[in-house]
Chains A and B, each alone.
Chain A
Amino acid sequence: VIDGDRVVYEVHYEHPPDTVWRAITDSAALARWLMPNDFVPEVGHKFAMDARPNFGNVDATVLVVEPPRLLVCEWTINGTSTIVRMELQPVAGGTRLFLEHRGLPSEHQAEFDGGWDSKLRDDLTLVLQGDAEP
């Protein structure tokens, strides 16, 4: 689901968090549902994924590992730095996975006062949707 400058998903799996955690942090498991990779769940680990035909090769870095709850990685896709965040929450009957993939770089925002940020984001979203006043 596209939400502004990011893609977000909330998915329920009928398996405990430990099982889901293994599936999102084990290289062989990842290869089965995501992409071929040389992932290791260690902060700072650099890995590559074969995302053809969607995105070509993805160079990535592990940023946060908090088993069995939070995994954050940076994926560089076609030279664009993006952040993939997966959070697991135990719920009745299984696990809820929150996925967030921030697609657009937002560095340098500290140059502005806080108010500008949301304004720019909102207005940019309008621009991107083509709904802004002509």
Chain B
Amino acid sequence: VSGAGAPTVDDAFGVIAHPIRRALLERLAHGEQRVTDLADRVPVSRPAVSQHLRLMLDVGVVTERREGRARYYALRRDRLHDIDRWLAQLDEFWSESLRRLGAHLDATT
């Protein structure tokens, strides 16, 4: 299994483009998790999990907290709202365009 993936990931869309990261998000949706607990839940090695978490930390969709030797990760839900907004924008775009298509059809026949 490749690591965090070749293309540069710099936003929420890149984060959810990988199934392992989606699985990690799913776990984190239930609350703060230790790396070891997260690693038990996905079918890849712990270094790979750490690499994905590092990337998610860089993008800002998770936060990291150290307690002794353990590292805890938590979800930053607000950073995922970019995706909601993007979909909402697409929705509005199509709604407007399809209305214009109707007007175009009416005008040309």
Contact = CB atoms under 8 A, between A and B. Distances in A.
A13 B105 contact: yes
Which of under 10, 10 to 19, 20 to 34, or 35 or more describes the interface residues of A? 35 or more
Interface stretch (B20-28, B51-59, B64-72): B20-28
User: Main SS of chain B's interface residues?
Assistant: helix
Which of under 10, 10 to 19, 20 to 34, or 35 or more describes the interface residues of B? 35 or more
A40 interface: no
Contacts of B80: 127-128
Closest 4 CB pairs of A and B: A33-B100, A132-B29, A123-B26, A33-B101
18 contacts: A5-B87, A15-B105, A19-B108, A20-B101, A20-B105, A23-B101, A23-B104, A24-B101, A32-B100, A32-B104, A33-B103, A101-B94, A103-B86, A105-B13, A109-B19, A120-B23, A128-B80, A132-B29
Given A7-B90, A33-B100, A51-B93, 20 more contacts: A9-B95, A11-B101, A19-B105, A33-B97, A33-B101, A97-B98, A99-B94, A99-B98, A103-B87, A116-B23, A119-B26, A120-B22, A120-B26, A124-B22, A127-B75, A128-B83, A128-B84, A132-B30, A133-B29, A133-B31
